[in-house]
Amino acid sequence: MGAEQDVAPARHDWAEREMVRRLSVPSGTIGGVDTIIVAEGLVKTYGKVRAIDGIDLQVTRGTVTGLLGPNGAGKTTIVRVLTTLLQPTAGRATVAGLDVVRDAKQLRSRIGVSGQYAAVDENLTGFENLDMVGRLYHLGGKRSRDRAWSLLERFDLTEAGKRPVGTYSGGMRRRLDLAGALVAEPEILFLDEPTTGLDPRSRLGMWDVISELVSGGTTLLLTTQYLEEADRLADKIAVIDHGRLIAQGTSDQLKEQVGGERIEVTVAEASQLGAAQQVMSRLGAGEVGMEEHTRTLTAPVTGGVGMLVEALRSLDAAGVTVMDAGIRRPTLDDVFLTLTGHAAEDEKKAGASA
């Protein structure tokens, strides 16, 4: 009996150490880089529709990766597969070394997810929502309460935390939803268009919160339609269109792919658009975009400010009256127009496969 009593604790300690070791195993190393999310040949179909069409993706531990694409591109479907909410039709994916299908139950305890729409109960207070999440994660009563109040303070919702969520603004609900994704202190966070529909002030506030999380070591994968958002937050951007990965790199690298700069010119009269387009076509380095209702033309150029001066001189010589003119770096629409042939807002949301 004495021997058994000595051996049992040793076995228990070994089991605990083994569990910790398994949970701490890195997802893998690709090219000498520690990867925590890996997708290989990922496919998800709905009948004849291929919502995800052979995606290969790697996310480095402790970084931010942005999935950039229009509505219907497949961004949300990718997130749903990686967070175990959908099973892929083909291919495989691992998150934190765990297979998203085979190890789904174990994986859910290690990730946080905030979807496109705030998943909060309007009849409960902010505190009750977060406390409930903590209890669902089996944190225990005291830790759930402490964590709830701590997150409410962090997201500037302490006073609002005592009120029903039905009284919250859209920005407050979005912050509460993100707080809910952080209750269990996940090492990996998935944010699906976290700032869509927010006013500029709320969006900036959300960006600050996300930046703080990343600086603390959280690995983040976010979907967005806004290049500005990806530019601000993401270390790497993967451009998704029609379920396919069509480009990836840093924000600067993507901008360089579509041309370094754009000249924008607004003319005085709609009747002058044709003449202005001819001038811009001669000077530009690609197709000239035209918005008739705003009387604005946009042309990719090389040569910087000098090319803007030349364009203004040429337009004046052609008898075109310019009301406004400027030069800027590419935007999301420029990236998508070049890479996909359409602007980001041209795509309509494709049902559940967004």
Residue-averaged pLDDT of the chain: 84
Q: What is the number of residues in the chain?
A: 354
Does 206 lie in the same domain as 115? Answer: yes
* pTM reported for the whole predicted model: 0.73
343 lies in some domain: no
> pLDDT for 44-85, tens place per residue?
999 999 999 999 999 999 999 999 888 888 999 999 999 999
In contact, 285 and 268? CB cutoff 8 Å? no
Using 50, 70 and 90 to split pLDDT, how confident is the model at 345? Answer: low
In contact, 79 and 192? CB cutoff 8 Å? yes
HEC assignment per residue over 144-190: HHHHHHHHHHHCCCCCHHHCEHHHCCHHHHHHHHHHHHCCCCCCEEE
21 lies in some domain: no
Given 255, 287, 320, which residue is the final one in a domain? 255
d(CA 321, CA 54): 50
Please state the rounded mean pLDDT for residues 109-133.
90
Residue 161: the pLDDT is: 95
177: domain CATH number is 3.40.50.300
322: domain CATH number is 3.30.70.100
165 has pLDDT over 50:
yes
Does 194 lie in the same domain as 236? Answer: yes
Host domain of residue 46 = 33-255
Residue 60: the pLDDT is: 92
| Type of residue found at 311 | A
Does 135 lie in the same domain as 76? Answer: yes
> pLDDT for 197-226, tens place per residue?
778 887 888 888 888 888 888 899 999 877
Does 319 lie in the same domain as 191? Answer: no
Picking from 61-70, 261-270, 283-292, 334-343, which range would have the lowest pLDDT averaged per residue?
334-343
Residue 24: the pLDDT is: 39
Domain count, the chain: 2
In this prediction, what percent of the chain has a pLDDT beyond 70? Answer: 85
Does 295 lie in the same domain as 210? Answer: no
In contact, 280 and 347? CB cutoff 8 Å? no
Residue 332: the pLDDT is: 62
More confident residue, 328 or 275: 275
Does 82 lie in the same domain as 139? Answer: yes
In contact, 176 and 157? CB cutoff 8 Å? yes
